[in-house]
């Protein structure tokens, strides 16, 4: 099937619309397209260029969207997770646009005089000044924050914009119902903003695809389960709305529909800190090793945990919000392997993040480092060899495909902010998580991971995780119908969009132009780069208050994005 729009006579420079469907994989799309469930996406595939889209390592929302936004690998933009290690300490800080290095795609377009509109893209808070407008996404503290540029836009969208559907204290049925309503609101915001003014570039992201997969993946295995088709319901609802967008697509628009990564099942969870402790690389202070003050703090923390569990489960929403916002209780139980529980003088390695990152404790780099610089290679070799022998206790399958050093993956001035080691799990089907109870001798493997923390969203299990392979479809003006994308990567989209917009590509970008997706007219055009290698600018710059950071952290925990 040819795409008639690609053959129409239009201006030499098309407008570009990007619609992001967070976390959507081809493994779900293609069967449901073939079965007739998704006619809008089927039409895009039949008339467009399409293929898998390789995400980043790690393939987390914060990392992936930051790489899309900048066209750079994380070693340049500096975002490696939703939180990152503060140099010279063991502390972590939440990441957002203010900590991202590199000029955004819409900054480059704005500087070239293009008019842009950006809506609900993760990692865009605080909103930067652009030639147009921007409504920040998942990392927005709340609707009472300054989440739009210009500020005058906020009253126009505040009634329909929302950050995420909360998982707290809901049954799966209630969460699904609110998610479907959330999809309606997302598209209402799209229609309210996409034609707000003449735009050269427009981008909008739908987050509910990712969230529903996290809590519904295993339901697909059992047709007798209520809401076993929850993910399909959400996909069909989105496809219904997409039909209107496609039917009204202007002739001069190149449409890009894409995801930042894919999704798949969690086969087992792995308590990495517990594994490290049992292998002797991490030491927790227990019993008499704890001071009286530490014992009192630990007991108080456990008491707060139990209280928060009951509060999240039984109290009205307004009271839950009061507890979280004003008592600091939620922050007090943020980690049950507290930094004070770790005996850093005997710890060589500890885990971070959700997908499997390990940091070393090195003399001269870390405050209480124990590994001499000349020992680093041998410690890495020991940990790597042990991980490569890790087996699924039920099947005997080797669980780790490879253990990568950060220098093998990333390039750039900010590589030192990355974890020292990154685990790539077999088929991306295992989830590394923190040992919340601080008990080193417990089981290493788990089968269920709850959303949120300590009772939040107590009824929902997290059974879906991220995988490397997302998807991408180009459709409309300038697109070669039925072209196949060849080894396309997420970081290739920004250079391709700049090429379509006839804007020189910054040499700091690591991606390439996906010429195979374009008609000969655009594929033959010389790819232009900036004449000079420009410095990588800092992000927009803004410090969050403690209350704002806690609001974001609680939301990310409730959605399964952070431990």
Identify the top-confidence range among 10-14, 109-113, 553-557: 109-113
Helices (H) and strands (E) in the chain, counts: 18, 21
224-251 residue pLDDT tens: 988 999 999 999 999 999 999 999 999 9
- CATH code that applies to domain 4-246+466-558: 3.40.720.10
| Strands 445-446 and 421-425, bridge-based pairing | unpaired
3-state secondary structure 177-200: HHHHHHHHHHHHHHHHHHCCCCCC
Q: What is the pLDDT of residue 490?
A: 98
Beta bridge partners, 21, equal: 206
Q: Find the mean pLDDT for residues 260-267.
A: 97
Question: Would you say residue 353 has pLDDT above 50?
Answer: yes
Q: What is the pLDDT of residue 315?
A: 46
pLDDT range class, residue 316, cuts 50, 70, 90: very low
Where are the CATH 3.40.720.10 domain residues in the chain?
A: 4-246+466-558
Question: Would you say residue 326 has pLDDT above 50?
Answer: no
pLDDT range class, residue 336, cuts 50, 70, 90: very low
Q: What's the CA gap between 324 and 308, in Å, rounded?
A: 9
Residues with Cβ within 8 Å of residue 53, at least 6 apart in sequence: 258, 259, 469, 470, 471, 472, 485, 488, 489, 490, 493
Question: Would you say residue 540 has pLDDT above 90?
Answer: no
Question: Would you say residue 355 has pLDDT above 90?
Answer: no
Query: Higher confidence at residue 467 or residue 533?
Result: 467
Q: What is the pLDDT of residue 297?
A: 53
Cβ count within 10 A of residue 475 = 26
Lowest mean pLDDT among 83-87, 177-181, 412-416: 83-87
Question: Would you say residue 279 has pLDDT above 60?
Answer: yes
Question: Would you say residue 8 has pLDDT above 60?
Answer: no
At 52, is the secondary structure helix, strand, or coil? Answer: strand
499-520 residue pLDDT tens: 999 999 999 999 999 999 999 9
Q: Find the mean pLDDT for residues 141-150.
A: 95
Q: Find the mean pLDDT for residues 274-284.
A: 95
130-142 residue pLDDT tens: 999 999 999 999 9
Q: What is the pLDDT of residue 242?
A: 98
- Residues 428, 430, 432: CA angle, nearest 5 degrees: 115
Q: What is the pLDDT of residue 439?
A: 72
15-48 residue pLDDT tens: 999 999 999 999 999 999 999 999 999 999 999 9
């Amino acid at each position: 099937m040819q795409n008639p729009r690609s053959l129409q006579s239009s201006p030499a420079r098309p407008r570009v619309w990007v619609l992001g469907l967070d976390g959507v994989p081809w493994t779900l799309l293609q069967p449901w397209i073939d079965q007739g469930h998704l006619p809008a996406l089927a039409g895009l595939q039949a008339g467009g260029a399409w293929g898998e889209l390789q995400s980043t390592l790690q393939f987390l929302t914060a990392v992936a969207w930051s790489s899309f936004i900048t066209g750079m690998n994380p070693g340049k933009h500096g975002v490696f997770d939703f939180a990152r290690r503060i140099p010279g300490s063991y502390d972590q800080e939440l990441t957002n646009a203010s900590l991202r290095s590199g000029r955004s795609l819409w900054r480059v377009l704005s500087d070239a005089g293009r008019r842009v509109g950006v809506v609900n893209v993760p990692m865009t808070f605080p909103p930067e000044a652009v030639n147009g407008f921007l409504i920040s996404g998942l990392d927005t503290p709340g609707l009472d924050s300054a989440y739009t540029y210009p500020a005058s836009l906020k009253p126009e969208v505040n009634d329909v914009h929302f950050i995420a559907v909360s998982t707290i204290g809901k049954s799966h049925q209630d969460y699904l119902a609110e998610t479907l309503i959330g999809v309606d609101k997302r598209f209402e915001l799209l229609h309210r903003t996409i034609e707000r003014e003449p735009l050269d570039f427009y981008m909008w992201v739908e987050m509910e695809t990712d969230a529903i997969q996290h809590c519904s993946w295993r339901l697909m295995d059992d047709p007798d389960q209520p809401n076993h088709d929850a993910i399909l319901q959400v996909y069909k609802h989105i496809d219904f709305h997409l039909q209107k967008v496609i039917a009204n697509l202007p002739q001069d628009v190149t449409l890009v529909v894409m995801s930042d990564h894919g999704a798949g099942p969690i086969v087992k969870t792995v308590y990495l800190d517990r594994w490290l402790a049992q292998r002797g690389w991490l030491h927790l202070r227990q019993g008499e090793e704890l001071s009286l003050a530490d014992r009192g703090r630990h007991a108080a923390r456990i008491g707060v945990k139990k209280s928060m569990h009951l509060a999240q489960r039984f109290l009205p929403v307004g009271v839950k919000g009061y507890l979280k916002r004003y008592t600091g209780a939620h922050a007090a139980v943020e980690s049950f392997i507290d930094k004070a529980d770790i005996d850093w003088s005997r710890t060589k390695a500890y885990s971070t993040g959700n997908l499997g990152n390990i940091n070393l404790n090195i003399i001269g780099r870390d405050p209480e480092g124990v590994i001499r610089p000349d020992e680093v290679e041998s410690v890495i070799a020991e940990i790597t060899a042990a991980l490569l022998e890790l087996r699924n206790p039920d099947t005997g399958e080797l669980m780790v495909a490879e253990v990568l050093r950060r220098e093998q993956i990333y390039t750039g001035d900010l590589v030192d902010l990355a974890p020292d080691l990154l685990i790539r799990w077999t088929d991306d089907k295992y989830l590394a998580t923190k040992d919340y109870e601080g008990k080193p001798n417990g089981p290493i493997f788990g089968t269920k991971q709850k959303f949120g923390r300590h009772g939040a969203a107590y009824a929902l299990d997290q059974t879906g995780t991220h995988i490397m392979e997302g998807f991408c479809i180009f459709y409309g003006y300038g697109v070669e119908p039925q072209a196949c994308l060849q080894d396309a990567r997420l970081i290739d989209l920004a250079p391709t969009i700049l090429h379509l917009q006839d804007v020189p590509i910054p040499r700091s970008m690591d991606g390439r132009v996906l010429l195979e997706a374009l008609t000969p007219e655009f594929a033959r055009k010389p790819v232009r780069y900036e004449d000079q290698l420009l410095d990588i600018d800092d992000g927009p710059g803004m410090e969050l208050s403690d209350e704002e950071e806690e609001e974001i952290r609680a939301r990310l925990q409730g959605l399964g994005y952070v431990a």
